[in-house]
Amino acid sequence: MRLCFLVEEHYRHDGMPIEVIRQLTSWGHQVDVVRPGGSLLSMTETVQAGTHDAWVLKTVSGGPGLTLLEAAAAAGMTTVNDARSIRGVRDKALAAAIGRSRGLPLPQTYAAARPELLAEIPASEYPLVVKPADGSSGRAVHLVSSPDRLAAMLPELAREGMLIAQPYVTNPGIDVKVYCVGGELYATERCSPLHPDRSVKERRVPLSAEVAGIVAQVGAVYGLDLYGVDVLLGPDGPVVVDVNDFPSFRQVPDAAARVARAVLGLARTGQASGAATLPHPRPPEQHSEVGRSSLTPRPHPAQVPVQVPTPVQVPAAAGESA
């Protein structure tokens, strides 16, 4: 198979996706790497139908890679994840609106183009968690204790563009991060970015049926195949606080091979999930090991068939065939 990975400069030396690319190459597949943030791109030549079996994106929020991925999707090519689905979670204001409308347990969410507009939020909603609508990796996440504290932070917040604000969910200072790879879930816990004083090393943890069901629903609502979900265990139950397409997959055993196999599976079917066409999901029915559960495969909407030219033949390595 011939694949195209779009890798932003921020991730050019990152273990994920570099290890996935190495794994695919060792199995005999051809992987072309495009760095949208570090190259002049000829949009009329870079994206042409039939050049690749699938395009895969690893990019920062707001990076140029998503535009290129959307161009590939418009040309009828398979993208991982679905380009429309990525857009739906990269904009956290949009993600909150979509998720709440489909019954996901997300906090009440306010959005403001200018930070001073957040002053209209009732004092009863404090403390607030305020962060950029296009933020990632815990960047610029603030716990704002009162309206007076918000007023003092306005100059700092003015640099962040569109903002979202959510009432703080009381929790022990630990986030549960759940990764979905190839239809299976893997759970870890780690310190919340709002509680840097906690000294908890990220580690695998058991995955409850309740959280597994919510994470499965997240994938179906947003139309994602490879993704991560941040969950807080609040006093009223689990709360989804963030959704990431193509996360780091830390603590997932044999992560590079698992992600590589998932990418190949999507490329072979020529399909990717689409939130607009997915039915409401059913929670997973079994949990086969600690921190891991099997998901019932979700149906995929058909995409435009891609005619792929015969590439230069490379001998396949043991374990996978090209």
DSSP 251-265: T-TTHHHHHHHHHHH
20-31 per-position pLDDT tens digit: 999 999 999 999
- pLDDT, averaged across the chain: 83
**In 3D, which of 15, 17, 30 has the Cα closest to residue 245?**
17
DSSP one-letter code for 284 = -
Report CA Rg, the chain: 20
Rounded to two decimals, the pTM is 0.82
Cis upstream peptide for 244 (omega within 30°): no
**Which residues make beta-bridge pairs with 238?**
233
Q: How confident is the model at residue 213 (pLDDT cuts 50, 70, 90)?
A: very high
Higher pLDDT, 303 or 189: 189
Residue 320: predicted pLDDT: 56
Q: Show the domains of the chain with their CATH numbers.
A: 2-90 (3.40.50.20), 108-167 (3.30.1490.20), 174-294 (3.30.470.20)
Higher pLDDT, 24 or 9: 24
Residue range 53-80: mean pLDDT, rounded: 87
Single-letter code of the amino acid located at 162: M
Q: How far apart are CA 290 and CA 312, in angstroms?
A: 43
Q: Name the 3-class secondary structure at 268.
A: helix
DSSP 32-100: EEE-GGGS---HHHHS-TTS-SEEEEE--TT-THHHHHHHHHHTT--EES-HHHHHHHHSHHHHHHHHH
70-117 per-position pLDDT tens digit: 999 998 899 999 989 999 999 999 999 999 999 999 999 999 999 999
Higher pLDDT, 101 or 45: 101
Q: How far apart are CA 269 and CA 267, in angstroms?
A: 6
Residue 271 has pLDDT above 80, yes or no: no
Residue 272: predicted pLDDT: 54
Higher pLDDT, 134 or 279: 134
